[in-house]
Amino acid sequence: MSATQPTIPDRGMPSGALRLLFLSIEEVMGSDGIKAVLNGAKLSHYINNYPENSLEYGVTFGEYGRVEQAVEDFLGPRGARAILIRVGRELFRYSLREQSALLGIAGNALKNMPLISPQAKMKILLQQIVGAANKTVNQPAHLEEDHDNFIVVIDQCMCQWRPKHEKPCCLVTVGTFSEAMKWLTDRPVEVKEITCLNNGADACRYQIPKKLPEEA
Ligand SMILES: [Zn+2]
């Protein structure tokens, strides 16, 4: 881990959000994997004792960031990349299964809506996710778009409590948006984090192309 430690005050988030991250890591890395990660993050009190499934602000952005960082430290930056993206994909699937009502995400009703374009559906789902980030997760965010792309802009992120990276490091979020778009459109959509608070930008921005890849 690099030496830079953040000094900004920590920020509350719902216990259920950190719980969801743990469940997703466990799904991808196994029960020994999540144990190693929690030990590495110096959060071993959560081993076999996940935060409750609640929207109360019982945990912090700093804790969430430390867990992401511990995955990276455990696997090395290269190895961690694919794993963190898979964790993010899992996280979307869990949210959709367990918490779609709570998050205000329309799920299958949206996916199966006739007569509107995939791009219109993408916009609706992205707006719902951004709404949930604002309302539920304590994470200010909004959606922008230009001719070719949707851009999700996130103004406060767990990466602000992680050591500095040279490149954008919010791979769990990249995975979450990738899976959301894949689930919705049945196509692989290439989501990129184009700016990151962690390395000095004013926001984390995720670029989601409107043009879908051709069906295989
Ligand atoms: Zn970021």
Whole-number Å distance, alpha carbon 33 to ligand 1 midpoint, is 24
Whole-number Å distance, alpha carbon 108 to ligand 1 midpoint, is 29
How far apart, in Å, are the Cα atoms of 18 and each of 66, 89, 194? 11, 15, 25
Residue 205 lies in a domain: yes
**Structural domains of the chain, count:** 1
Whole-number Å distance, alpha carbon 113 to ligand 1 midpoint, is 32
Whole-number Å distance, alpha carbon 206 to ligand 1 midpoint, is 9
Sign of CA dihedral 102, 104, 105, 107: positive
Whole-number Å distance, alpha carbon 173 to ligand 1 midpoint, is 8
- Residues 109, 155: Cα–Cα separation, whole Å: 30
Per-residue pLDDT of the chain (216 residues; tens, 9 = 90+): 444 555 789 999 999 999 999 999 999 999 999 999 999 999 999 999 999 999 999 999 999 999 999 999 999 988 999 999 999 999 999 988 877 665 666 778 888 888 899 999 999 999 999 999 999 999 999 999 999 999 999 999 999 999 999 999 999 999 999 999 999 999 999 999 999 999 999 999 999 999 998 865
Residue 75 lies in a domain: yes
- Contact by Cβ (8 Å): 69, 164: no
Domain that holds residue 134: 12-209
Whole-number Å distance, alpha carbon 197 to ligand 1 midpoint, is 5
Whole-number Å distance, alpha carbon 204 to ligand 1 midpoint, is 5
Residue 4 lies in a domain: no
> Cα dihedral angle (105, 158, 151, 169), rounded to 10 degrees?
-120
Residue 1 lies in a domain: no
Residues 6 or more apart whose CB falls under 8 angstroms from that of 150 comprise: 122, 123, 126, 143, 144, 207, 208, 210
Residue 79 lies in a domain: yes
Q: CATH code at 178?
A: 3.90.1520.10
Residue 6 lies in a domain: no
Report which residue type is found at 146.
Answer: D
* Residue 24 CB coordination number (10 Å): 24
Could you tell me the two tokens for 179? 């899976």
Whole-number Å distance, alpha carbon 109 to ligand 1 midpoint, is 31
Residues 6 or more apart whose CB falls under 8 angstroms from that of 22 comprise: 34, 38, 46, 50, 51, 67
- Residues 28, 9: Cα–Cα separation, whole Å: 31
Residue 61 lies in a domain: yes
Q: Is 182 helix (H, G, I), strand (E, B) or coil?
A: helix
Model confidence pTM above 0.85: yes
Whole-number Å distance, alpha carbon 153 to ligand 1 midpoint, is 10
Whole-number Å distance, alpha carbon 116 to ligand 1 midpoint, is 32
Residue 216 lies in a domain: no
